[in-house]
Amino acid sequence: MLTLKAHAKVNLGLSVRGRRRDGFHEIDTLIARVALHDTLTLTPVAEGVRLEVAGADLGIPPEQNLATRAAELYLTEAGEARGVEIELTKRIPAAAGLGGGSSDAGAVLRGLAQLYPADVNLLKLAETLGSDVPFFAADMPAARATGRGEVLMPAEVPKLHLVLVNPGVGVSAGNAYRQLRETTPPLELEMLVEQLERGEEPDYFNALEAGVVGLEPAVGEVLTALRQTGLTGVLMSGSGSTCFGLARSQPEARLIAATLTEAYPEWWVRATGTL
């Protein structure tokens, strides 16, 4: 038996450079894992893959879950006849721009590589499961991701204190990219990291944000509410719908999260921090 944490992520800036020949978009983003996480327990069994989910109704059958698909893919690639039972406790909301499903899949790949070691290229497997999965399979605290998200360069991000807010609407990545208003220049990564280190207002953007706000006005309401608290660097994460802001300290993040929870009880609100 093996228990793993599958951490959420935030995108500290997201540039969309244009459409690729394979239909995906070329992106440039700084991804950082945060303390918020799902928990997975992997138990070897004689055969097959079984998944039990607690903490959320994901609205899909277990066989369609990315964690199940990751397990099946690894076992097939490894030539492993034995199977695994996966107990997944969800804390990261689905279709929220926080990489929950991708992180679960990455954790399953890493866990099975420990339970059933084999000559398997985890990052290549991860690429077939989704654009964010390689980042989580690589188990990096932070990275610059280019290509469609699978080309990773380790990055150093200072300790950040964040308030995450989701208005209770899900946005698929496909819908977010269909609403793209314009392509954007690459990130100024060195400048961005220096701004974050100095606690300044970061000069970043999310190319998908305007289109998602048009699609789901509640996301715009969240962005406005976060800015009104005095948080800096307010931005939508990934393809949405979760947004975040940067606090000066953990106590401030917790206080603002509590204030927003009281003012907007229908929203999902969490204080967290980068790893």
Backbone angles phi, psi at 173, to 5 degrees: -60, -40
Helix axes 100-115, 122-129, angle to 10 degrees: 150
Report d(CA 209, CA 184) in Å as an integer: 12
Backbone angles phi, psi at 266, to 5 degrees: -80, -10
Backbone angles phi, psi at 99, to 5 degrees: 75, 25
H/E element, 192: helix 189-198
Q: Which residues are annotated as catalytic?
A: 9, 132
Nearest alpha carbon to residue 161 among 237, 248, 35, 231: 248
SS3 assignment, position 222:
helix
